Amino acid sequence: MIALLIATVGAALLGGVLGALQWLVVRRRVPIPRKAWITANIGPALLAWLLVIMPAVISAQNSDANVSTAYLLAASQSLALGPLLGLSQSLVLRKVTRRWAWWIGANLASWLIVDAVIYLLSHLFSNLNAFTGDGSIAEIYLALIATTPLTGRALLWVLAPTALTTADKPKTP
């Protein structure tokens, strides 16, 4: 029961903050309701917590393993669920842009690129251990932040005025 509560709070915090920050940018291009966008972020975050992070933590607790290492490893594995976020958000975007399906691919590509770069860097720098369980929470956040420029640029392209559906195109005087 406690694990479910932690998962729900973690998902609401992660999805809610990410969704609110993204919505501040998205709303400047298209009229997407804040609640719809934030909900599209919380759902995948909840799935990541319930399907990846919490099972790893519960398993660590049951085997008397280091719970903080379990959180770290599970969080790094949940990075692969980033494309799930793109899928959920694309369902909101398809109402306003013809390029909505590209958003799924952009999320997948950005997460794969960042994971590959971090993996390669971990071979060059022995202190970068995000994917081995010896790393720090800061390394996980670094990976999350590193996807931002890639997905942000892609989102601007997906929401370019030429890609918007006719009903949502900005009106020229």
Q: Spell out the per-residue pLDDT of the chain, length 173, in tens.
A: 676 787 788 778 878 888 888 898 899 999 999 999 999 988 888 887 777 777 777 777 788 766 666 666 565 555 656 778 889 999 999 999 999 999 999 888 888 888 788 778 777 877 766 555 555 556 666 776 777 788 888 999 999 999 998 665 555 55
Phi, psi angle pair for 126, to nearest 5°: -65, -20
pLDDT, residue 93, reads 96
- Asked if the structure places residue 167 within a domain, the reply is no
Is 89:37 a contact under the CB 8 Å cutoff? Answer: yes
pLDDT, residue 95, reads 92
- Asked if the structure places residue 70 within a domain, the reply is yes
pLDDT, residue 100, reads 95
- Asked if the structure places residue 173 within a domain, the reply is no
pLDDT, residue 77, reads 59
pLDDT, residue 157, reads 94
Number of domains comprising the chain: 1
pLDDT, residue 67, reads 62
- Asked if the structure places residue 56 within a domain, the reply is yes
pLDDT, residue 71, reads 61
Domain range for 94: 2-162
pTM score: 0.75
Is 172:107 a contact under the CB 8 Å cutoff? Answer: no
